[in-house]
Every structure is written in C-alpha cells, then in structure tokens.
Amino acid sequence: MAKKRTREEVDPKGQGRRVVKALKEAYPEATCALVHEGPFQLLVATILSAQCTDARVNMVTPELFRRFPDARALAAADRADVEEVIRSTGFFRAKAKNIQGMAVALLADHGGEVPRDLDALTALPGVGRKTANVVLGTAFGLATGVVVDTHVKRLAYRLGLTKRRAPEQVERDLMAIVPREEWVDLSHRLIQLGRRVCLARKPRCSTCTMAAFCPRAGVTSSA
C-alpha cells in the first residue's frame, strides 16, 4: 500500500501536475454547471449563484431570461418583478439591485454587451474577481485567473496545492503552479470532484482516484 504523503512532503508544482492529470482522466468533459446561452446570461446567473447552489439558480433563470432576455430589458424592469422571480436564490433584494445595476452599466458603458476584460467586468455592480473569471473563462475562453469557490478552496488545501485559506491567496498559489492553459478546466474539474467525491464533511477517500498522492490536509474523517 502506498504511503500517504504528509503536507511537508508535497512539492506544489509536482502535485499540481499530478492533480491536473488525474482530473483530466476523471472529468474530461467537466464544464460550468450554470445553464446559460451567451455571456450575458452567464454573468447574471453567476451573480445569482452567490450563497446559492447552481441547481437553484438553474431553476430560476429560465423564467428570468424569458421575461428579461437582455441588458436593456433587465435594466428597464420593475425591481419588484425581478425580486419576485429570483426570490428563492436568497439575498434577492441585493441580487436584484446588482443584476439591474450591472445591466444599466452594460448599456451605458459597453453598448449592452459583456466586455472581455477583467477590469471592465469587475467595475460592474455585483461583479467580483471570481464572477469575472467565470465569465471570461467559460464564455470567452480567456484564462485570466482560477475560479476559487468553496469546493476549489477546500480541495486545493486538502490536495496540498496551497497552505492558504483566503480565496485570493489560493488563486495566486494555483496560478503559480498550474499552467495557464489549464486554469479554466481546473476549476470546473475540482468542483466536480468536490461535489461527487471530496465532500466537505466526509470525503469519499476510498473511491478517489487521487488517494495515492493526496496528503488529505485537514481531513479528520473519511469514507
């Protein structure tokens, strides 16, 4: 039986190569779980996904986009109507304000189109670096960073890819050890692993394809 590596024994760059290879084999088709058609829908859906599951967002967005299909329609909508449609995503008042503010800014500054620029995106209401990275990577194929959600943060630490806990620090560490061309797919694949195998409370280590080289940092119980 292979000896489990300790945190101190893990070389981040070497570990990065192992993780990328294993993820490619396990989840070759992994992609963004938010159902969307085009950059605008993805941007709205990503803003709505804060403190909410992708599954819940996907239940809400068909009606939202039926009623407000583009930036112009969303910007002109009655706030109460938007809030009612997205209510089940949580924090619906703040989210309605953000997506409408974003739509207004798109019209004023970008002709209603989603910009392909990190700084321009993060200048929009409700759009942080993570949301901008999601849109740029998934909608435009631009690797501007690594999307660090709760799954990616948890798995990067457990797998020995970072010793940090803050998302922005985790992102910097991942960008330093993983080739740029892998950044977009890395997030999608780690999220799949986190949802299916490396669960937050009781990871299924016995069925994980990375068990042989995972240091299991912070794991106190597993199945």
- Assess whether 109 carries a catalytic annotation: no
- Assess whether 70 carries a catalytic annotation: no
Query: For 102-192, where are the E strands, in sequence order?
Result: none
Choosing from 24, 97, 117, 149, which is the catalytic residue? 149
Structure tokens at 107: 């019209």
Choosing from 130, 153, 173, 185, which is the catalytic residue? 130
Indicate the burial class of 119 (C-beta count within 10 angstroms; 0-12, 13-18, 19 or more): exposed
The DSSP 8-state label assigned to residue 112 in this structure reads T
Phi first, then psi: give them for residue 136, nearest 5 degrees.
-65, -40
Cα–Cα distance for residue pair 36/146, rounded to 1 Å: 20
Cα–Cα distance for residue pair 49/106, rounded to 1 Å: 20
| Spatial contact of 191 and 49, defined as CB atoms under 8 Å apart | no
Tell me which residue of 149, 115, 117, 113 sits closest to 130, measured CA to CA: 149
Buried b (16+ CB within 10 A) or exposed e, 39-51: bbbbbbbbbbbbe
Sequential DSSP letters for 33-69: -S--SSHHHHHHHHHHTTTS-HHHHHHHHHHHHHH--
Residues marked as catalytic: 130, 149
